[in-house]
Amino acid sequence: MNEVALKNDEYIVERAGKSVVAIIPKERYQSMKKKRDEFFRMVDEIREGMTAAEDSVIDTEIFTAVHTYRKKVSAISKKK
């Protein structure tokens, strides 16, 4: 754990060849949590603005938002 805390190393723990948990620095976790919370806040805003909309319209908007977010995160990750 010192390597994670002090050196910002990351580890994936596997069981039977499948990833089951990631050990990451606390700062990275907090950043990920903040982004996740912001994403769901935006989803709530979309839902509030579309209360009369059909579920399929809301689902499409959420899918688009998720796709856009993941594309943005992927582009940032590739730059590192």
pLDDT tens digits, 16-53: 999 999 999 999 999 999 999 999 999 888 878 766 66
Rounded CA separation 45/30 (Å): 22
pLDDT higher than 70, residue 80: no
pTM: 0.55
- pLDDT score for 64: 93
pLDDT score, position 26 = 94
Q: Which two tokens stand for residue 37?
A: 């919370």
pLDDT beyond 70 at 77: yes
